[in-house]
Chains A and B, each alone.
Chain A
Amino acid sequence: MAKKPQIAADTRPWRDPNAKPFVRIRDVTKKFGDVVAVSEVSLDIFKGELFCLLGGSGSGKSTLLRMLAGFEEPTAGAIEIDGQDMAGVPPYRRPINMMFQSYALFPHMTVWNNIAYGLKRDHLPRPEIEARVAELLKLVKLEGYERRKPNQLSGGQRQRVALARALARRPKLLLLDEPLGALDKKLREETQFELVKIQETLGVTFIVVTHDQEEAMSLATRIGVMNQGEIAMVGEPSEIYEFPNSRFVANFIGSANMVEGVVTEDEPDHVRIRSAELGADIYVDHGVDCSPEQILWWAIRPEKIRLTREKPAVQAGVPPDTNMTKGFVEDIAYLGDMTVYQVRLDNGRYMRVTKANALRGDPDAISWDETVWASWSGSSGSVLTS
């Protein structure tokens, strides 16, 4: 559902070193008393992006959003939007609108008046306000609901009124705080799709705050993972998932098997890691920025591990007896589209392996209490030094 990449330079300005960012966040810190909510965050966001700030509660993502909206002033650092420094600019003068987590619809106003509120503040002529509100109602598919009050709407309808109200002034930048958080799962998936469609149609830059990684993965052009007030990693969804830069990101996004190991060979074209936890040697088929004898971590996603009953043959380009380990299937969770295996390794550690159920009712599927070999290729895992 994320934006389809068409021409790389056109849709991925963050890959172009000369591109001028639309939102520049420079070393922004926010303290509440002694508590540091946001710590020296620097971030560039480009025009037309759908940027997701992803993090757990207390990670500082909402505070960062509130600083962009102008509800909080940074303790240190600068925020620039479209080349203009936002220091001291009150919320009502910023070219930004926000969709609140609680929607914050005015309970005493009709849907029409809620959407028209910002337009009236801009002193637009009445016919223009009417035309724009009608257009927005059509966009969010709420025609005929003009005269309802917020309490006469369902959760999904309220969410769409909130979106229409936030879009009414045609902001250059729209901030969305947990936009789908209050909706049930089914509605959330539909709305995700609509949100992306609206964003593409209008070409507005979206910054979305969410704690739901699935939501972030499916919506975003890029994700900023936040942890304890800091940006842990910024990247496209696939980069974040496949190439996490730290143990935190690897664990936070999706699930990962993570082991500690020590570097035994450090060559420009490969690295060999001995891991007692895994009971095996790991051969990584590319160079890593590390030194011999260094202790580091290696993480692999459950779906990138193969399970076989027989000891796997030696892989091309990988030395024998590396990248494989023996275990015992202790538990199986059948999820329909895939099966999750809990494999107990010989040293007592557990490894999580998933297998897509490509074959219908596979009679030859690996079952409980079988002894199996787990193996992976030289490029499947991520070497993490922090």
Chain B
Amino acid sequence: MGELVGLVRLGADLVSAMDLPAAAAAPERGPWPLLRRWLVRMGITGRWAVILPPALWLTVFLLIPVLVVFKISFSEAVVARPPYLPLLTFGEDGEVQLTLHLSNYMFLGQDTLYIAAYLNSIKIAFISTILALLVGYPIAYFIARSSDRWRNILLMLIILPFWSSFLLRVYAWIGFLKNNGVINNALQAVGLPQVTMLYTDFGVYVGIVYTYLPFMILPLYTTLVKLDDALLEASADLGARPFRTFLSVTLPLSLPGIIAGSMLVFIPAIGEYVIPTLLGSPSTLMIGRVLWDEFFANRDWPLAASVAIAMLVVVVVPLMLMQNAQNAVVERK
């Protein structure tokens, strides 16, 4: 919510900056002052003019769709179009009946498949985040420490994969990971045994870490590049060896980047559908795949909606916890 407060303040500043000279000047003509006067009469001042567009955007494209899904999660599945019953029914003598089916949510708790899928999603997302952090941190550190000339080229290389299709890139990994793929051929060429990597959890980890690595690297890079060299020198000067300096100075000061990067990897990884489908085994249970199956295979929209809402809660809670932690870190500075 920190951003919103910032917006409100900015809005207030704009009001005072815009209104003060206007109040002193004579009434202006032309379309713009006319529009402004009309807006002011409608109660839309500078503050609202700034808040309104993002608020509208979020309402139309985030809040309303979520409410629709929320609504569907309380209805009952039928073979019809749309494949669920309305919540409100109108009787013949004008009575209005609201029917909320909690059975979908109860079913989520009863069938161990869903709980297992949630837990497995969290596990895979968590391990992937740790792996992405371990791989991404040295890369981000290296880029942040390299010369200005190289830095932009390296950053470009990190972002470059986004220019090609995500689906294509994940698909390409099949060629690397499969039993007679690039990696196994190389292993066999040097006389090592073949390793099954495709259609395993390992494949899923490779896919997620590969795909979301830039999201880990970029926020880490932005905090590491701001790190003052003098702090590292001061640490060395006070008798700390390089690794000690890393633990005591670099790591704590890059904590905001670690939290931001971890969130950007963890949250999409939980709901990931494409990667486990293409690279995982059929038994790799992830909530994204369960959702897909309920929605398209079983055509049980209400159950799929309740899976989605439950997932939202599972994702939103850690998100808020982490954001709070990050705000606390930022405020402490």
Task: Mark A residues whose CB is within 8 Å of B.
Answer: 69-71, 90-92, 96-98, 100-102, 104-108, 117-118, 121-122, 149, 151, 165-166, 168-169
Contacts and interface: CB of A to CB of B under 8 A. Distances in A.
Contact of A165 (B228, B238, B244, B252): B238
Nearest to A118: B238
For the residues of B in contact with A, the DSSP-based class is helix
B308 to A, nearest CB: 39
- How would you classify the secondary structure of chain A's contact residues: helix, strand, loop or mixed? loop
Interface in B239-276: 239-241, 244, 248-249, 252-253
A118 B239 contact: yes
Contacts of A169: 238-239
B238 A151 contact: no
Interface residues of B, number: 19
Contacts of B237: 69, 91-92, 96-98, 166
A155 to B, nearest CB: 16
A100 B233 contact: yes
B235 interface: yes
Q: Which of B228, B231, B238, B241 has the most CB of A within 10 A?
A: B238
B41 interface: no
A162 to B, nearest CB: 9
Given A92-B241, A104-B233, A165-B234, 18 more contacts: A69-B237, A71-B236, A90-B236, A91-B236, A92-B238, A96-B237, A97-B238, A98-B237, A101-B230, A104-B234, A106-B231, A106-B234, A107-B253, A117-B235, A149-B332, A151-B333, A169-B238, A169-B239
A99 to B, nearest CB: 9
Given A121-B244, A149-B332, A151-B333, A104 B228 contact: yes
A78 to B, nearest CB: 21
A171 B237 CA distance: 11
Nearest to B232: A104
A92 B234 contact: no
A104 B232 CA distance: 9
Nearest to A149: B332
Contacts of B241: 92
A71 B230 CA distance: 10
A91 to B, nearest CB: 4
B230 A102 contact: yes
A100 B229 CA distance: 11
Nearest to B249: A106
28 contacts: A70-B236, A71-B233, A91-B233, A91-B236, A91-B237, A92-B239, A92-B240, A92-B241, A97-B237, A98-B233, A98-B237, A100-B230, A100-B234, A104-B230, A104-B231, A104-B233, A106-B234, A107-B333, A108-B332, A117-B235, A117-B240, A117-B248, A121-B239, A149-B333, A151-B333, A165-B234, A169-B238, A169-B239
